[in-house]
Amino acid sequence: MDIKEIIQPENLVHKRTPLMTDATLSYCPGCGHGTAHHLVMEVIEEMGIQQDTIGIAPVGCSVLAYDFMDIDMSQAAHGRAPAVATGIKRLWPEKYVFTYQGDGDLAAIGTAETIHACNRGENIVIIFINNGIYGMTGGQMAPTTLEGMKSSTTPYGRDAKQMGHPLKITELVAQLPGTYYVTRQAVHKAGNVRKTRKAIMKAFEVQRDKKGLAFVEIVSNCNSGWKMTPNESNEWMEEHMFPFYPLGDIKVEGKIVKDLLKELM
Amino acid sequence: MGKMRGAIVVDTERCKGCEVCIVNCPTDTIGMAEEVNGKGYHYAYMKHPENCTGCANCAIVCPDGVITVYRVKTEK
């Protein structure tokens, strides 16, 4: 069979979602941000809620998310996306509101906003991209940087005695009564992408059913910040990030499903 | 049982040559072109088009969403 016979409109199985604009993504080659963007937009497309969704772009690499996502979006001050989302959702309870934040935004400068939005149980979705580094500003240490991990501000590796321990903010918010669905996923392999898509879908369904806050962490790579090729960084992530940030659901239907104490040991 | 045949179309000008699709392709279909696009990146192309089953793994992991996938069931 000739390739031209296969490439026919009736045989189409996957194409770029029209909810992503034609703007070229500003991310480095191989960055998980792009995959995560597409997933969020695919879910919104599948649920048919493009007209009813408001996204909050953070400060960080994904600061330009409003250029790429063809939905209504607002920009928040650094770390304040959950606070802005709270305001929008309370004024427009029938709209779908989500924040899209990186680890420097959500787990460092926005820790207070994150924890209090989760504790209040605001009916929003938080998409949290964790790559263990401040990507946009040049690969500085973030709260999520692993122990011993090199960054531009920890050239000899993160020393817990001097710089503190890496922060598992997802496990932290899972313990708050306001969160209804908390999960950690990845987007570097096709299987993980499919699971992440399901998780994001579930998060938006939690919001639709007004159950509480849904928090989806996506462990991602930062090949530029980690000074690796995209595939090397994905392997490094599997080897080093996943043992500390294990994938899977943490809280489902308001109940913690993972033995957190065991994992924190 | 019918065999799945697939094909991909790569938006070469948007491809950033990250090669994530290559490691996610279970059938060794995709390779990187010798040529570069307008931005100077080597872009993905079907190196072994006869291998493609249209599983769409490459397309869903592509960070820039440049891959369109087609699939057809053959009678053989």
Domain B3-74 falls under CATH 3.30.70.20 = yes
Contacts with B30 from chain A: Cβ below 8 Å? none
**A79: alpha, beta or left? (left if phi > 0; alpha if psi -120 to 50):** left
pLDDT digits (tens, 9 = 90+) for A215-228: 999 999 999 999 99
Specify the pLDDT at position A221.
Answer: 94
User: How many residues are listed for chain A in this entry?
Assistant: 265
Q: Give the mean pLDDT of chain A.
A: 92
**Among partner residues B22, B60, B65, which is closest to A20 by beta-carbon distance?**
B65
ipTM at complex level: 0.92
pLDDT digits (tens, 9 = 90+) for A94-125: 999 999 999 999 999 999 999 999 999 999 99
Specify the pLDDT at position A73.
Answer: 94
Residue percentage of chain A with pLDDT more than 90 = 89
Q: Phi and psi dihedrals of A103, rounded to 5?
A: -75, -35
DSSP-assigned letter for residue A167: P
Torsion of CA A16, A45, A39, A105, to 10 degrees: 120
Contacts with B27 from chain A: Cβ below 8 Å? none
**A164: alpha, beta or left? (left if phi > 0; alpha if psi -120 to 50):** left
| Rounded mean pLDDT, A119-133 | 95
**Rounded CA gap, A147 and A74, in Å?**
35
**Rounded CA gap, B43 and B22, in Å?**
11
- Which residues, given as ranges, of chain B have pLDDT below 70? 1, 76
Q: Using the predicted structure, report yes or no on whether residue A11 has a pLDDT greater than 80.
A: yes
**Rounded CA gap, A259 and A264, in Å?**
9
Residue A231: closest C-alpha in chain B: B20
B36 and chain A in contact, CB less than 8 A: no
Q: Is A1 helix (H, G, I), strand (E, B) or coil?
A: coil
A2 and chain B in contact, CB less than 8 A: no
Contact A35 B61 (CB under 8 A): yes
Specify the pLDDT at position A208.
Answer: 95
Contacts with A34 from chain B: Cβ below 8 Å? 62-65
Nearest to A49 by CA among A61, A59, A40: A40
Q: Which fold has domain A3-264?
A: Rossmann fold (3.40.50)
Specify the pLDDT at position A4.
Answer: 87
Specify the pLDDT at position B23.
Answer: 94
Q: Phi and psi dihedrals of A263, rounded to 5?
A: -75, -30
A68 burial via Cβ count (<10 Å: 0-12, 13-18, 19+)? buried
CA distance A146 to chain B (A): 24
**Rounded CA gap, A43 and A50, in Å?**
10
Specify the pLDDT at position A3.
Answer: 85
What's the token pair of residue B27? 């059938």
Confidence of residue A261 (pLDDT cuts 50, 70, 90): low
**Among partner residues B23, B49, B70, which is closest to A13 by beta-carbon distance?**
B70
**Rounded CA gap, B41 and B47, in Å?**
17
Contacts with B69 from chain A: Cβ below 8 Å? 12-15
For A131, half-sphere exposure in the C-beta direction (CA atoms, 13 angstrom radius) is 33
Q: Where exactly are the structural domains of chain A?
A: 3-264
> Which residues 173-202 in chain A show a CB within 8 A of chain B?
187-190, 193-194
pLDDT digits (tens, 9 = 90+) for A163-212: 999 999 999 999 999 999 999 999 999 999 999 999 999 999 999 999 99
B19 and chain A in contact, CB less than 8 A: yes
